[in-house]
Amino acid sequence: MSVSRTQVAIVGAGPAGLLLGALLAKAGIASVILEQRSAEYVLGRIRAGVLEQIAVDLLDEAGVGARLHREGLVDDGFLLVFGGRVQRIDLHALTGKRVVVYGQTEVTRDLMDHRAGAGLPTVYEAEDVALHDIESGRPWISYRKDGVEQRLDCDFIAGCDGFHGVSRTSIPASVLRTFEKVYPFGWLGLLADVAPISHEIAYVNHTRGFALASLRSPTRSRYYVQCALSDRVEDWSDDAFWAEFRARLPDELAAKLVTGPSIEKSIAPLRSFVAEPMRHGRLFLAGDAAHIVPPTGAKGLNLAAGDVGLLAQALAEHYRGSDAGIDDYSRRALARVWKAERFSWWFTTMMHRFPDEGEFAERMQRAELDYLTSSRAMQTAVAENYVGLPL
């Protein structure tokens, strides 16, 4: 067995793990990232990309924000569409803040390039990763690379390996509590090289189901429709998707719809999920390893960035002689997580059709939307949550 050592072992080379590695490097803390998939697979995952200011600031702090500022699309608001109406929520007027549309794939690419350029170690296609002695002061990770058994000794382990990773399941069941809500529908998403119907994201409440119009660039659009969990991607031709998407738009937006062949199509189920605590011994959970939000509120990547921002700060404090940050990490992270879970749950409940809840639920949604569009106080509360609550 080959043995190596680092200060912080990071499991998962998605944006959470890569951002944590970059922030630690800025603080002079050594890290090794282990990833079970190939770099090409990681980059091939299509995800949303609405970045809060906190996420942008952390990318800048890590030294990887240059392309984001050149190519990202700054949005001052978003659109709520219901009952044939289009209501704009002016984020900047209500909060003084904005969001930036920049695909998660591009964030990951920037972080990968930065890590490679700095010569920082990332092990892709690490097989059979397992965490050991996390309750001791000497945790370590075993894995296999190219058929050779490896051991990585470390001071701390950061579990950034997503919902299906090994990190969360390494916490004893007697310690870990999980909270989950599974929604009775999914999102069918289509990516195409077509001009978007709006330069701002549009959220659509319709009797046929929810729809979302988002964009990646002035020439690339990402559109979604609510679908049944039993649907399969192969059941949806491009023509069928475009027809259904158009049917959920009011005339003024439908007239702007440009269609074209899909680059990618996929169906994602929706869930709300939180694991507590986010620290056990020398193991810390961050991002999707600890929590999942429905994508309605655009919180997934932003919550992950907030987690690793807190964790990087806490680890830097540790190496300067104080454990206050690591001792308080789980509490601070979860306080923000639950607020984002609430907002994402509320937004999802207001905008989607729930198959078993009938006309009463539809009328309640309409009353909520009517109140929202007529109340500046309510719009301010929504805008504050959408642009991101402070760490």
pLDDT tens string 29-38: 999 999 999 9
| pLDDT bucket at 260, cuts 50 / 70 / 90 | very high
pLDDT tens string 326-345: 999 999 999 999 999 999 99
CATH class of the domain whose range is 2-73+102-180+271-348? alpha beta
Dist. CA 238–CA 242, nearest whole Å: 6
Dist. CA 253–CA 197, nearest whole Å: 6
The answer on pLDDT for 185 being more than 90 is yes
Dist. CA 217–CA 194, nearest whole Å: 9
Which pLDDT does position 88 carry in this prediction?
96
Give me 96's structure tokens: 């003084």
CB 309 within 8 A of CB 391: yes
* Residue 119 per-residue DSSP state: T
Which pLDDT does position 358 carry in this prediction?
86
**CA 276 → CA 69, 126, 179, 299, 314, distances in Å?**
35, 27, 8, 18, 18
DSSP letters spanning 239-302: HHHHHHHHHTS-HHHHTT-----EEEEEEEEEEEEEEE-SEETTEEE-GGGTEE--GGG--HHH
pTM greater than 0.75 (yes/no): yes
Percentage of residues in the chain having pLDDT higher than 90: 94
CB 248 within 8 A of CB 266: no
- What is the number of alpha carbons within 13 Å of residue 290 lying toward its C-beta? 31
The secondary structure of the chain in percent helix, strand, coil, rounded to multiples of 5, reads: 40, 30, 30
Q: How many helices (H) and strands (E) does the chain have?
A: 13, 21
Exposed e or buried b per residue across 92-102, where buried means at least 16 C-beta atoms within 10 angstroms of its C-beta: eebbebbbbbb
User: What average pLDDT does the segment 172-186 reach?
Assistant: 97
pLDDT tens string 232-259: 999 999 999 999 999 999 999 999 999 9
What mean pLDDT, rounded, does the chain reach? Answer: 96
- Estimate to the nearest angstrom the gap between the alpha carbon of 381 and the chain centroid: 21
The answer on pLDDT for 174 being more than 80 is yes
Of 206, 10, 234, 182, which Cα lies nearest the Cα of 111? 10
Q: Could you give the 3-state DSSP secondary structure of residue 227?
A: strand
Give me 141's structure tokens: 């990770």
Determine if the peptide bond prior to 355 is cis (ω within 30°).
no
Listed by start position, the domains of the chain span: 2-73+102-180+271-348, 183-270+355-387
Amino acid code (one letter) for 142: S
Lay out the sheet containing 50-51: strands in order across. Answer: 50-51, 99-101, 73-75
| pLDDT bucket at 46, cuts 50 / 70 / 90 | low
Which pLDDT does position 306 carry in this prediction?
97
| pLDDT bucket at 85, cuts 50 / 70 / 90 | very high
The answer on pLDDT for 179 being more than 90 is yes
pLDDT tens string 336-389: 999 999 999 999 999 999 988 889 999 999 999 999 999 999 999 999 999 999
| pLDDT bucket at 297, cuts 50 / 70 / 90 | confident
CATH class of the domain whose range is 183-270+355-387? alpha beta
